A and B are shown apart, each in its own frame.
Chain A
Amino acid sequence: MRKWAFWLAAIALLLVLQATLRGLIGAYYYQIVILVGINIILAVSLNLINGVTGQFSIGHAGFYAIGGYTSAALVYYGGASIRSALQFLPSLFQDTILLVVGLFAAAVLAGLAGLAVGIPSLRLRGDYLAIVTLGFGEIIRVFILNIDAIGGSRGFSGIPQLSNLFWVYLLVLATIITVRNLIRSSYGRAFISIRDDEIAAEAMGVDTTRYKVLSFVISSMFAGIAGGLFGHFTMYLHPNSFLFTTSFYLIIMIVVGGLGSIEGAVVGAILVTVTLEVFRGFGAFRLVNFAIVLILIMIYRPQGLVGKRYGYS
């Protein structure tokens, strides 16, 4: 009963915000709020694989990209036929279904990519895994660059704007709650055990293979959803938005916030996104100062601002 009440209240609140926020704070801040939401989804999902399962993955931008392009391609090329099949519904419902279908496809394809990356990862530890994931991220990007049907180096334009505050933050909630529940379950305990001591976990009978791959797949699915939301908001996708520097920024978010906890990921995502915007005032020195702040935070508080890890009492 309480779950229903919670979701009802959340949906109601989001609908209200959706209707009013843009008018209140202006399109610029509205856009920042949306980007923050998308980054939260990315950070929380990345945290699942890095902070909770302890697998060092720095190729998240690849799954982000796959999700974005998949959803965009599906809606762009298949949108007309899907719409004609749903002609009896009002346009708003058509858009909703279109978005849901797109995001679902994004999640599936990104999840498959996660499988493809996760399986080789079984054999690798630490830094080697990091490099492989980095490599995969770049390989994905270069391949997208060469596929003309989704724009390649021209970029994919003409994506209909289907996502908005409501959808982004609804999915933010869904992501956070799903990941939280996952962590509190036996799956979560398995993940944490793999992070803390993989050999001991294996010795205690935890099927590390299965859980590591599961972690990758779930994490990449959410990244795919974030990508879909991104594409449907900016209406234009270009491989330059998915460079390894993007992956680095995501890692920075979760580490600055505090590796291992959802709060950390959320705080980190908000902080980094907002800081980068605030620093626009510094003009040319924007990224220089961002780098300095980053270095100082890592020197003086390496456990991140929230600094809490699951599994520690």
Chain B
Amino acid sequence: METFLQQLINGVSQGSAYALIALGYTMVYGVLRLINFAHSDVYMFGAFMGFYLANNEWIKTNLGTSPFTAVLVLLGAMALSAGVGILIERFAYRPGRGKSRFALAFWLGIAGAAAGQLVNASLASTLIGAAAGLSIGIALEKVGLRPAKENSRLALLIIAIGVSLFLENGGQQVFGADPKFFPQIIETKLLDVGPLRIDSQKLIVLGVAVVLMVLLNIIVNYTKTGKAMRAVSFNLDAAKLMGINTDRIIAFTFALGSALAGAGGILVSLLYPKIDPLMGIMPGLKAFVAAVLGGIGNITGAMLGGLILGMAEVMAVGYGESTYRDAIAFIILVLILLLKPTGIMGKGMIEKV
């Protein structure tokens, strides 16, 4: 019995990790009908930003380790993640919807920086390369190269895959491929509750996840921007006609989703303090399953889906064959999609002819 309860706690904490990431997936899908494969890499980015912030000398000496520092690191990483999300939306997804300026310049600038880095591993060379790329990009756009106006969802998906590949491999170059240890900015206390041993860290993580979910719910259901987000997810064109600046709302959705992913990255790294540039792939995939399980587009569903998935995984591993752990997520996925494709909390979609 004691083992069972222990496994239950393990499941809940694993599940809350998945839930945090799933929230971002579900929001972006709701608004853009896009499976944002790059989301898991923003999660990784958040973790690394937290790593660099927490290890920052200035912060360490001036603020020390306190709950205040922890919150600061969390908010900082969330803000940086939101920034990355906005950049991705602006320079990768929005051009995919047919409108953007300087997208070419942006990417060529990065490619140029990479080339500069290869030629000579100095800051000067990198900057020269970046400048060269930027200028070529701007020049090409002046000459008339514009993004295609076609609104192909498959193309958007491929762009998402491309951004994901970019972040993963770029991360390996910039952050280094070796795993790093995430500083324990929140101390862990082992609480003995009856026969169980509960890690206070897990409770804190679960708590923060719940708080974030509540905040998200408030934003989406009780603010004007939230209303606009819901309108856009319902019908993009109608929202435009009602005077909503859809581009700005979409950017906001991305920022929000990415901030959550970044927060997820930090919280998960506290529990499992190993971070590396490829850390997002599996959790991302599983969180996506969780989002679908709960009903994609539904926020409470994402949280629920995450918890259920975490629990199922832990139970299967603990009592069954641990070798099939990864397969569990997908088996659940397949079952849900066969039995109730719209997920637990999703509403049936009536397809109009």
Q: Do chains A and B touch in the complex (CB under 8 A)?
A: yes
CB distance B96 to A302 under 8 Å?
A: yes
Interface string of A295-308 (1 = CB under 8 A from B): 11011111100000
Q: Which of B96, B115, B341 meets A124, CB within 8 Å?
A: B341
* Interface status of B309 (Cβ within 8 A of chain A): no
Assess whether B114 is in contact with A300, with CB atoms less than 8 Å apart: no
State whether A295 touches B154 (Cβ < 8 A): no
Specify which of A56, A125, A255 is in contact with B351 (CB 8 Å cutoff). Answer: A125
Q: If the complex has contacts A127-B35, A302-B155, A303-B148, are A139 and B337 also in contact, measured as CB distance less than 8 A?
A: no
If A132-B334, A139-B330 touch, whether A199 touches B351 (CB-CB below 8 Å) is: yes
Contact check, B166 vs A303: say whether CB atoms are below 8 A apart.
Answer: no
Question: Is A299 a contact of B96 with CB atoms below 8 Å?
Answer: yes
Give Cα distance in the complex from A284 to B277, angstroms.
Answer: 14
Task: Tell me the chain A residues, 199-226 only, with Cβ under 8 Å from chain B.
Answer: 199-200
Q: Report if A283-B337 is in contact (Cβ < 8 Å); known contacts: A298-B159, A300-B145.
A: no
Q: Are A120 and B158 in contact (CB under 8 A)?
A: no
Q: What's the minimum C-beta distance from B343 to chain A, rounded to whole angstroms? A: 10
Determine, out of A75-83, A161-169, A285-293, the stretch whose residues face the partner at the interface: A285-293
Per-residue CB contact flags for chain B residues 94-137 toward chain A (1 = under 8 Å, else 0) read 01100010011001001100110110000000000000000000
Q: Considering the chains assembled together, what is the distance between the CA atoms of A199 and B352 in angstroms?
A: 9
> How many whole Å from A262's CB to the nearest CB in chain B?
18
A11 contacts partner chain B, Cβ-Cβ < 8 Å: no
Complexed CA–CA distance, A12 and B82 (Å): 60
Smallest Cβ-Cβ distance to A284: which chain B residue: B173
One of A125, A127, A131, A285 near B114 (C-beta < 8 A): A285
Structural contact, B330 and A135, CB atoms closer than 8 A: yes
Q: B32 to nearest A CB, angstroms?
A: 12
Answer yes or no: A13 CB below 8 A from chain B CBs.
Answer: no
Q: Contacting B330 at CB < 8 Å: which of A130, A136, A292, A299?
A: A136
Q: Flag whether B260 is at the interface (Cβ < 8 A).
A: no
B162 A295 Cβ-Cβ under 8 A = yes
- The binding surface of chain A is classed by DSSP as helix
Q: Does A294 contact B (CB under 8 A)?
A: yes
Cβ-defined contact, A288 with B162, below 8 A:
no
Contact A299 B103 (CB under 8 A): yes
Q: Tell me the nearest residue of chain A to B170, going by C-beta.
A: A288
In the complex, whether A61 has a CB less than 8 A from a CB of chain B is: no
For the complex formed, measure the closest distance between the CB of B142 and the CB atoms of chain A, giving whole angstroms: 15
Q: Chain B: which residue is nearest A200 at the CB level?
A: B353
Q: Are A259 and B170 in contact (CB under 8 A)?
A: no
Which residues, 297 to 353 on B, are CB-close (under 8 Å) to A? 323-324, 326-327, 330-331, 333-334, 337-338, 341, 351, 353
Q: Tell me which residues across on chain A come within 8 A of B165, comparing CB atoms.
A: 287-288, 290-291, 294
Interface presence of A6 (CB below 8 A):
no
| B-side interface size class | 35 or more
Kindly list chain B residues whose C-beta atoms are within 8 Å of the C-beta of A300.
104, 145-148
| Also in contact, A299 and B338, with CB within 8 A (given A135-B333, A138-B326, A139-B331) | no
A29 at the interface (CB under 8 A from B): no
- A120-B334, A131-B333, A139-B334 given as contacts; is B324 within 8 A of A287 (CB)? no
Complex Cα gap A277–B97 (Å): 31
A131 near B148: Cβ-Cβ < 8 Å: no
Chain A interface bracket (under 10, 10 to 19, 20 to 34, 35 or more): 35 or more
- How far does the alpha carbon of A290 sit from the alpha carbon of B168 in the complex, in Å? 12
Q: Are A291 and B327 in contact (CB under 8 A)?
A: no
Checking A124, A244, A255, A296 against B337 with a beta-carbon cut-off of 8 angstroms, the contacting residue is A124
Choose among A125, A130, A288 the residue that contacts B173 (Cβ–Cβ < 8 A). A288
B288 at the interface (CB under 8 A from A): yes
Q: Which of B35, B117, B159 has the most CB of A within 10 A?
A: B159
Chain B 137-165 against A: per-residue CB contact (8 Å), 1 yes, 0 no? 00000000111101010111011011111
Which residues from chain A contact B150 at a C-beta distance below 8 Å?
A: 302-303
For B323, the chain A residues whose CB sits under 8 A away are 145-146
CA–CA, A142 and B324, complex, Å: 7
A82 to chain B minimum Cβ distance, whole angstroms, is 33
Q: Is the CB of B158 within 8 A of A252?
A: yes
Complex contact B161–A252 (CB within 8 A): yes
Contact present for A292 and B337 (CB under 8 Å): no
B104's partner among A120, A125, A296, A302 (CB-CB below 8 A) is A296
Instruction: State whether B292 touches A299 (Cβ < 8 A).
Output: no
Q: Is A299's CB under 8 angstroms from B324's CB?
A: no
Q: Is the CB of B166 within 8 A of A288?
A: yes
Q: In the complex where A136-B330, A143-B327 touch, is A299 in contact with B147 (Cβ < 8 A)?
A: yes
Instruction: Please give, as numbers and ranges, the residues of chain A lying within 8 Å of B92 by CB-CB distance.
Output: 295, 299
- With a cutoff of 8 Å between Cβ atoms, the chain A residues found around residue B117 in the complex are 285
CB distance from A267 to the nearest CB of B (A): 15
Distance in angstroms between the alpha carbons of A302 and B168 in the assembled complex: 23
Q: Does A128 contact B (CB under 8 A)?
A: yes
Partner of B155, one of A142, A255, A292: A255
Residues of chain B within 8 A of A295, CB atoms compared: 92, 107, 159, 162-163, 166
Residue of A whose beta carbon sits closest to that of B37: A248
User: Quick check: A138 and B327 within 8 Å, CB to CB?
Assistant: yes
Judged by a CB distance under 8 angstroms, whether B184 is at the interface is no
A sample of 9 inter-chain contacts (CB < 8 A) reads A131-B288, A135-B289, A285-B118, A288-B165, A288-B169, A288-B173, A289-B114, A291-B162, A292-B107
**Chain B residues at the A interface, C-beta cutoff of 8 Å:** 29, 33, 35, 92, 95-96, 100, 103-104, 107, 110-111, 114-115, 117-118, 145-148, 150, 152, 154-156, 158-159, 161-166, 168-170, 172-173, 285, 288-289, 292, 296, 323-324, 326-327, 330-331, 333-334, 337-338, 341, 351, 353
Question: What is the interface of chain A, defined by CB distance below 8 A to chain B?
Answer: 56, 120, 123-125, 127-128, 130-132, 134-136, 138-139, 142-143, 145-146, 199-200, 244, 248, 251-252, 255-256, 259, 282-292, 294-296, 298-303
Given A131-B288, A145-B323, A285-B117, output 4 extra A-B contacts at Cβ < 8 Å. Answer: A199-B353, A244-B285, A284-B118, A299-B148
